[in-house]
Structure 1
Amino acid sequence: MRLSFLAAGLLVPSAYAFWRLPCATPVVNSRIDPIISPGKASSHAHTIMGSNAIGYNTQFGDLRSSQCTTCMVRDDKSAYWIPELYYQNGKGFQAVDHGGMVVYYLQRNAANETVEAFPDGLRMFTGNPYSRSFAGTSESKAISWNCINFNGPGQPDTPGFGNTNCPNGLRAQVFFPACWDGVNLDSPDHKSHMAYPDSVDSGQCPSTHPHHLVSIFFEVWFNVAQFNNLNDGGRFVLANGDPTGYGLHGDFLNGWDRSVLSRAVQTCTDGSGVIENCPVFQNEGRFVSNADMNSCAASNPLQENVSGPIPNLPGCVAVTNGPGPASSTDLVPGCTAAASRRSSDEDLAARAPEAVPGVNRRSHRAMRGQDWLLSV
């Protein structure tokens, strides 16, 4: 089974309606993951889009009361994240910049089903950070990469890193399960309360998970060309120590105003994907300005350089080549991970920079300096 994603964007049959939600920039890059690692630093670094309330213990109420979001609809205070991508060469690791995320919202129910909005407090996690080869499961089929070259023929999606010499970006793609059991907002493995429909990205939900929620799909375009031009024998590695790409994974913490999302799911039936064609957002003044999206920032609880150059991956994660699975014990010997350090005053400064004199509100792109490239 192949998912229908091509370099020109997501292609869907005319019977399907969808919209693309741009998230202009990460709200924070850090070892934060309140789904998998609540109350402590995550094992590896993530690039996170959306609400500036994201932290170690974020709950639905925190998201709803957050001050801002880096995504385009003000009523969506959700948090979206995937692992950071790094370039590794003889000098260490450098994070690969990207221009934010596009989240596709798709109404892809079977004929006898009704698409529903997310329940308040829903959490989802898909993908396996320890995978180093293709498993053939529905979950592994929902993880893919695409090498973008606008001046050449379209490239097929690959389940791991295929060609990474991509002039117009290496695109990470994560499709989330859309079938909910109707009871649990989370589960011990953070997956069992959700299931994929029978065609993974569309189709019928299983009887165990009868509620067909609106489907979401992440795209993140990483700027790999600047590193390929170095021609120094380096390679790309995910923050979870994965040089294969099979360990790509995604997390979603719902923060929508459900009444707004429900009306959008019911009435935004355009098949173009253009979010401005959704009257619930366009006609009701629900869009966030580019300036507000780019100025939104979250508190970072760690005194840790996750951008680079750094000698080891954040969290001291060791790079494991596979094809066998990695494990949580694959760490760099003698490496010490950063510890939490933020005080309440620092949290206030990071979360509400406009209220604290002297706090720098530079965008993510400005802070991800490229001086390292000049010395490689």
Structure 2
Amino acid sequence: MPNMQLNAFIAALGLFAPASALLRFGCSGLTVQRLDPLVNPGMNPSAHLHQIIGGNSFNASMPAESHDLAKLSTCTSCQFTEDFSNYWTAVIFYRSKNGTFKRVPQMAQAGMEGTQGGMVVYYMSDALFDTAQKSTVTAFKPGFRMLVGDATYHDREEARKFRQLTYICMENQGTRAPESISFPTKPCPGGIMANHRFPTCWDGKNLDSPNHQDHVAYPESGTFESGGPCPATHPVRLPQILLETMWDTRAFNGDAADFADGKQPFVWATGDSTGYASHADYTFGWKDDSLQKAMDGHTYVSAPMLKTQTIAQQNQCKVPDMVGEDIDGWLQTLPGENPVV
């Protein structure tokens, strides 16, 4: 992705600020499969379908104690070639009135045209697009992994546990507000953006925990964006990771009956039709201390201390199909036969 194109896009949104300090980069899709080495390690297939980006060492089993992704991967689908991390979310499906399902494709953001599937990833030391990002954060360590959200949640009260897992009903590529925590209930002319923001405080000891969540926490008060302090139990301030996935729902907006009476036709691969089951997984895989150097450098998007590759090169990094099931046609059931809730 040419940096000039990306900076021009951000400038057009009124967000360009040369003093800012954040990483923002695109990643092509590495694979779409029913695998989840965090929640269902070694299980093939796993419970529901995921879309994955990052290093090509991704597999059904990725034990933290022996899985240095930067050493095991030979390519990455992300723009920065030092980032062999893996990031994944569930997949969104359209449910037709006759009960069949069609996987919703992903689309590239402006300035990243040509990217096949994937997401846009942010690492931040302060609020998104803050013009004076000078806070110190500690980069993740080899073997670090975490999960945000819960695939079993189906109501607003449950979802309150997690902050800023949101959706944007996009009018166009520049739409970034308002955000909702449930699926939009009207057709979205520019598609639906799903946002996943991870916790930003770490206990400083454990690279993981049994539920992949207890070793990290949200700020004790306020938010990451407001500079809220970390709790004493989790005193180490981490970069905030934000994942943006643009789901191209435009082909499914034509039937007004799909959106009548507050209904909407989209479901996560888990079977969730509310949007509250939104979740995302992360396994750290930056090479050596490259991420720490980038965060310490307070750079803006381009990160001159990091190496980049072209979108064409990103698109070439894939992993083989290890499950072998139809995920692209009109399906009678969701992969894994997950019921719609």
Tell me whether the two structures share a fold, i.e. TM-score over 0.5. Answer: yes
Contact 1:92/1:309 (<8 A) preserved = yes
Q: Which residue of 2 aligns with 1:250?
A: 280
Q: Structure 1 stretch 136-145 or stretch 251-260: which is displaced more?
A: 136-145
What pairs with 1:296-311 in structure 2 (closer than 5 Å)? Answer: 296-311=317-332
Shift of 1:19: 2.0
Q: Deviations over 1:317-344 (max 9, x none)?
A: 1101xxxxxxxxxxxxxxxxxxxxxxxx
User: 3-state SS of the aligned residue for 1:105?
Assistant: strand
Measured in 2, the distance between the counterparts of 1:98 and 1:55 equals 22
Where do 5+ consecutive residues of structure 2 fail to align?
1-11, 108-117, 128-132, 259-263
Helix, strand or coil at the partner of 2:267: strand
2:196 corresponding residue in structure 1? 174
Q: Deviations over 1:205-235 (max 9, x none)?
A: 1111111111100100000011112556371
| Residue of structure 2 equivalent to 1:52 | 56
- The match for 1:314 is 335
Alignment of 1:1-376 (within 5 A): 17-24=21-28, 26-40=29-43, 41-59=45-63, 60-89=67-96, 90=98, 92-99=100-107, 100-108=118-126, 114-135=136-157, 139-150=161-172, 155-197=177-219, 198-202=221-225, 203=227, 204-230=229-255, 233=258, 235-270=265-300, 275-276=301-302, 278-281=303-306, 286-320=307-341
Comparing 293-302 with 80-89, which one deviates more in the overlay?
293-302
> 1:178 offset after TM fit, Å?
1.2
Letter in 2 for 1:208: T
- Residues 1:153 and 1:94: Cα distance change in structure 2 (over 3 Å): closer
Distance 1:42 1:104 in 2: 27
Asked which structure has the greater CA Rg, the reply is: 1
How far apart are residue 188 of structure 1 and its match? 0.7
Aligned residues: 304
- What's the % identity of the aligned pairs? 34
Q: Give the AA of the match of 2:314.
A: M
- Is the partner of 2:296 in helix, strand or coil? helix
| 1:68 shift after superposition | 1.2
Query: Is the contact made by 2:88 and 2:280 (CA closer than 8 Å) also made in structure 1?
Result: yes
How far is 1:289 from its partner? 1.5
Amino acid at match of 1:175: R
CA contact (8 A) 1:147 1:163 kept: no
SS of 1:298 mapped into structure 2: coil
- Taking the aligned partners of 1:256 and 1:289, their CA distance within structure 2 comes to 18
Distance 1:181 1:79 in 2: 22
Q: Distance in 2 between matches of 1:11 and 1:39?
A: 43
1:309 positional shift: 1.4
Cα deviations by residue, 1:93-137 (Å, 9 ceiling, x for unpaired): 11100022001110029x997311111111010001111111276
Cα deviation 1:33-62 (Å, max 9, x = unaligned): 111000102210001111121111124324
Aligned residue identity for 1:119: K
Return 5+ residue gaps in structure 1 as ranges: 1-7, 321-376
Stretch of structure 1 that moved more, 309-318 or 222-231: 222-231
Deviation of residue 64 (structure 1)?
A: 3.0
**Is the CA contact (8 Å cut-off) linking 2:269 and 2:335 kept in structure 1?**
yes
Distance (Å, rounded) in 2 between the aligned partners of 1:315 and 1:95: 14
Q: Which has the higher contact order (CA 8 A, sep 6+)?
A: 2
CA contact (8 A) 1:115 1:213 kept: yes
- Rounded Cα–Cα distance in structure 1 between residues aligned with 2:251 and 2:139: 40
For the structure 1 residues 30 and 261, does the alpha-carbon distance in structure 2 shift closer, same or farther, using more than 3 Å as the test?
Answer: same
Distance change (3 Å), C-alpha of 1:124 and 1:87 = same
CA contact (8 A) 1:126 1:139 kept: no
The 2-side partners of 1:79 and 1:318 are apart by 28
* TM-score after normalising by structure 2: 0.82
Task: Name the stretch that deviates more: 133-142 or 244-253.
Answer: 133-142
Cα shift at 1:150: 2.8
Q: 1:108 to 1:141 in 2, by over 3 A?
A: same
Q: Residue by residue, what CA displacement relative to the aligned partner does 1:239-261 show, whole Å, maximum 9, x if unpaired?
A: 01011111110000111114111
- State the secondary structure of the residue aligned to 2:194: strand
Q: Deviations over 1:168-218 (max 9, x none)?
A: 110000100011111111101110000012334333111111111111001
